[in-house]
């Protein structure tokens, strides 16, 4: 363990040294700038309109949170407790940017073992299509960009208290505390007692401290640390049918797993974001982050070989203590040159990560075949028979150069080239590990051209070497970290500003990547190539002064190709493939009811491929959510009461966890929360 800690400390020193060394490259090698330095581009994840101009993520402004009105497109936006759009961190164009390692915090590379808490980041945007323009080294699978909760310069706070009719209770607080005129602290905390649609119980406590320090007018430092403690989290049952069919209707609001089948852990994220305007035309931006989780108790609850008679074999998998950690960061040195209506920017970039996973060694307890509606009350074994664990080390770094050019009234272009090295060692403790080493040159070109002041065409070609995540809980090689995979994306489309407050985006895309799924022996591995072709559309903004819309449509052709298909190991359609999706959200503020708004969400999914052999599908699903808000004052404080009914018509169904593995689609849920700014 001491050697492991020493390795992490050495890696931290190397990363920080490399980041600081890059600032030494700031010599005037390019033409002199004719104007003052321009700040590093920081495209916010949401675009706030005049009606909703509260600064997002700031304490004291949360009563104005409204994702429908504040989203700039329909490709995925989270604001506080609200989410809208086609995509999320787990699924973008048929791929997972979270699993691929395409996470950013304020635009900087962050290899997240666990995602930033809501107290660290209050807004998220999925960057694909035109929203990825201007990004330094965009990613083929899309980018999940978290917006940092930067403490404000005035004393302010927000609190939220919420409940559901299932018995869930949660409370949140965010505070901005100015210490001096140049230094502010942000304090946040969350207490939640979750009661979920499948009967699951999850108790969690979070706290965070964010800083905002400007030692000079040209330098900003934003440190943060967050800690989340979960003393009890039920292990959710995963249902695996015996044959090529869906499980029978699953029990709702019923805890069937034994009390001793639970998780508890501590999760820590921390880091420092630095912005430095070195000189006119020279900017330096850096982020160094650490993300880790220590799972004291962990495991899976598998209900295998489920039959139509609602019986299945109950398998409890218990893990010894697991530990995952990653040190990551990015440094950018930018040179901006102004040339009349044209702006040229050159960005030298270095980013990397050093990650460790301690996993495996689990014990499997077979409790026999039982009815899936009956709770298991068997006592816990006196001892678990844990085996040797494995260590998985991953070290990856990127370095490259990007050019960003903008010509007012004409368009913009981004072109970049980078070199990456991926090194992986995996094996049992005290044994010689297996080694993987990959070197690759990656490049990207993004461009947009203005046809008229309201109409622009865009296109991109992007290559990447992305993470493929870990093997799922129902695989023989469960929790094994998979190798990095080459991925390529091509897309093109148009962005049309229909009015000052309403925009339409329509485009086509193709993404190719190795296909990972379960083989006939339940080993999660590469089987063929996955090619996702699709058409996507976004309509977002204000239809009238009272009505806001966020409408996303996806038509997808997820095809698996290669020898694995020809040999019959997998079918030609990818698991998780959904050919048609519609996500529509509307928010209406009736002029005759001042202080009230009403919202409607509609979600449509065509059948979802559930098995590698293409013999099982989850049927078409249509869900409706209905809700409303009331804005009012409590003394001098702004307040907002939110009430919503999710899955209004109480639709039955399944959620796909992985190939041939299912969980319950939650039923109707009524929620309410009160937000107060002070």
Q: Which pLDDT does position 80 carry in this prediction? A: 92
What mean pLDDT value characterizes the chain?
A: 89
Query: Is pLDDT above 90 for 70?
Result: yes
DSSP 46-67: S---GGG-SPTT-TT-GGG--H
Q: Which pLDDT does position 36 carry in this prediction? A: 35
Local structure of residue 429 (DSSP, 8 states): T
- φ, ψ at 601 (rounded to 5°): -120, 135
Tell me how far apart the alpha carbons of residues 541 and 434 are, in angstroms, rounded to a whole number.
52
pLDDT, tens digit, for every residue of 9-63?
444 434 334 333 333 333 333 233 333 333 344 333 333 333 344 445 677 889 9
Right CATH for 2-677 from 3.40.50.300, 3.40.50.9100, 2.40.170.20, 3.40.190.10: 2.40.170.20
Give the rounded distance of the alpha carbon of 198 from its chain centre.
23
Residue with tokens 């504040």, as numbered in its chain: 70
pLDDT, tens digit, for every residue of 243-285?
999 999 887 878 888 889 999 999 999 999 999 999 999 999 9
DSSP 538-583: EEEEESSSSEEEEEEEEEEEEEEESHHHHTTSS-SB-TT-BSEEEE
Q: Which pLDDT does position 134 carry in this prediction? A: 85
Distances (CA, A) of 277 to 147, 151, 331, 336, 414: 21, 20, 14, 11, 22
Q: Which pLDDT does position 33 carry in this prediction? A: 33
Local structure of residue 519 (DSSP, 8 states): -
Query: Using an 8 Å Cβ cutoff, are 558 and 577 in contact?
Result: yes
Q: Which pLDDT does position 38 carry in this prediction? A: 37
Q: Which pLDDT does position 8 carry in this prediction? A: 41
Say how many CA atoms lie within 13 Å of 616 toward its Cβ.
21
Residues 6+ apart with CB under 8 A from 281: 30, 32, 33, 37, 38, 335, 336, 337, 338
Residue with tokens 């905390």, as numbered in its chain: 189
> Do β-strands 103-105 and 143-148 pair in parallel, antiparallel, or remain unpaired?
parallel
3-state SS class at 120: coil
Tell me how far apart the alpha carbons of residues 550 and 548 are, in angstroms, rounded to a whole number.
7
Tell me how far apart the alpha carbons of residues 569 and 79 are, in angstroms, rounded to a whole number.
42
Tell me how far apart the alpha carbons of residues 294 and 268 are, in angstroms, rounded to a whole number.
9
Give the rounded distance of the alpha carbon of 166 from its chain centre.
26
In 435-532, alpha helices (H): none
The terminus-to-terminus CA distance of the chain in angstroms comes to 47
Pick from 101, 14, 11: which is nearest to 327 by CA?
11
Positive or negative torsion for Cα 147, 78, 543, 409: positive
State mean pLDDT over 322-340. 97
Tell me how far apart the alpha carbons of residues 659 and 523 are, in angstroms, rounded to a whole number.
11
Structure tokens, 583: 């996500």
Residue-level length of the chain: 678
Q: Which pLDDT does position 502 carry in this prediction? A: 97
Local structure of residue 131 (DSSP, 8 states): G
Residue with tokens 């409590």, as numbered in its chain: 634
Q: Which pLDDT does position 356 carry in this prediction? A: 94
Local structure of residue 92 (DSSP, 8 states): B
Q: Which pLDDT does position 650 carry in this prediction? A: 94
| Confidence at 626, pLDDT banded by 50, 70, 90 | very high
Whether this model's pTM surpasses 0.75 = yes
Residues 6+ apart with CB under 8 A from 285: 40, 107, 108, 273, 274, 275, 276, 331, 332, 334
Pick from 237, 343, 356, 349: which is nearest to 300 by CA?
237
State which of 48-52, 131-135, 423-427, 505-509 shows the largest mean pLDDT.
505-509
Query: Using an 8 Å Cβ cutoff, are 288 and 19 in contact?
Result: yes
Structure tokens, 297: 């108790």
Structure tokens, 275: 């912005």
State mean pLDDT over 63-88. 95
DSSP 219-238: EEEEEEEEEEEEEEEEPPEE
Residue with tokens 């503020």, as numbered in its chain: 589
């Amino acid at each position: 363990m001491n050697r492991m800690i020493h390795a992490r400390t050495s890696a931290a020193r190397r990363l920080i040294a490399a980041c600081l060394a890059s600032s030494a490259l700031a010599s005037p090698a390019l033409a002199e700038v004719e104007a003052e330095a321009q700040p590093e581009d920081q495209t916010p994840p949401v675009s706030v309109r005049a009606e909703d101009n509260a600064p997002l993520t700031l304490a004291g402004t949360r009563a104005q949170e409204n994702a429908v009105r504040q989203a700039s497109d329909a490709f995925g936006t989270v604001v506080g407790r609200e989410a809208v759009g086609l995509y999320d961190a787990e699924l973008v164009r048929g791929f997972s940017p979270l699993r691929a390692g395409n996470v950013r915090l304020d635009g900087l590379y962050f290899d997240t073992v666990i995602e930033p808490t809501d107290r660290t980041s209050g807004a998220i945007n999925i960057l694909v299509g035109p929203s990825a323009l201007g990004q330094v080294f965009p990613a083929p699978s899309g980018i999940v960009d978290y917006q940092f909760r930067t403490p404000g310069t005035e004393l302010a706070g927000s609190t939220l208290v919420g409940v559901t009719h299932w018995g869930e209770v949660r409370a949140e607080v965010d505070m901005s505390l100015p210490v001096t005129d140049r230094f502010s602290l942000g304090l946040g905390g969350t207490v939640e007692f979750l009661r979920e649609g499948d009967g699951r119980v999850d108790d969690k406590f979070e706290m965070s401290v964010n800083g905002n320090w400007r030692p000079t007018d040209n330098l900003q430092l934003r440190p943060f640390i967050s800690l989340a403690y979960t003393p009890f989290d039920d292990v959710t049952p995963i249902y695996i049918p015996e044959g090529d069919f869906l499980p029978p209707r699953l029990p709702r609001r019923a805890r069937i797993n034994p009390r001793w089948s639970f998780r508890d852990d501590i999760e820590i994220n921390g880091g420092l974001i630095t912005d430095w305007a070195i000189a006119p035309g020279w900017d330096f931006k850096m982020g160094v982050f650490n993300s880790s989780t220590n799972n004291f108790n962990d495991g899976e609850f598998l209900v295998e070989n489920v039959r139509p008679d609602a019986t299945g074999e109950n398998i409890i998998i218990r893990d010894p203590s697991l530990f995952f950690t990653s040190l990551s960061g990015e440094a950018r040195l930018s040179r901006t040159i102004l040339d009349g209506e044209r702006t040229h920017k050159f960005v030298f970039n270095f980013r990397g990560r050093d990650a460790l996973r301690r996993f495996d060694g689990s014990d499997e307890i077979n409790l026999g075949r039982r009815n899936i509606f009956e709770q298991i009350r068997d006592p816990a074994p006196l001892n678990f028979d844990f085996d040797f664990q494995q260590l998985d080390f991953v070290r990856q770094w990127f370095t490259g150069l990007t050019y960003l050019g903008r010509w007012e009234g004409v368009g913009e272009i981004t072109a970049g080239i980078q070199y990456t090295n991926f090194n992986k060692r995996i094996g049992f403790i005290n044994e010689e590990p297996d080694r993987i080493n990959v070197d690759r040159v990656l490049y990207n070109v993004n461009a947009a051209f203005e046809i008229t002041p309201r109409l622009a065409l865009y296109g991109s070609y992007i290559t990447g070497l992305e993470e493929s995540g870990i093997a799922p809980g129902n695989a023989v090689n469960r929790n094994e970290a998979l190798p990095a995979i080459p991925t390529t994306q091509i897309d093109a489309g148009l962005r049309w500003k229909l009015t000052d407050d309403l925009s339409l985006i329509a485009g086509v895309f193709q993404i190719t990547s190795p296909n990972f799924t379960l083989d006939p022996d339940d080993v999660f591995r590469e089987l063929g190539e996955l090619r996702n072709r699709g058409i996507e559309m976004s309509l977002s903004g204000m239809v009238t002064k009272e009505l806001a819309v966020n409408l996303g449509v996806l038509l997808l052709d997820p095809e698996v190709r290669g020898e694995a298909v020809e040999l019959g190991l997998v079918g030609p359609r990818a698991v998780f493939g959904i050919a048609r999706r519609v996500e529509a959200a509307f928010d209406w503020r009736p002029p005759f009811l001042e202080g009230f708004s009403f919202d409607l969400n509609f979600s449509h999914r065509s059948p979802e491929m559930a098995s590698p052999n293409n013999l099982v599908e989850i049927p078409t699903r249509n869900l409706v959510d209905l809700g409303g808000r009331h804005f009012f004052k409590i003394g001098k404080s702004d307040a907002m009461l939110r009430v919503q009914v999710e899955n209004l018509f109480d639709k039955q169904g399944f959620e796909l966890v992985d190939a041939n593995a299912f969980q319950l689609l939650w039923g109707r849920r009524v929620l309410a929360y009160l937000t107060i700014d002070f």
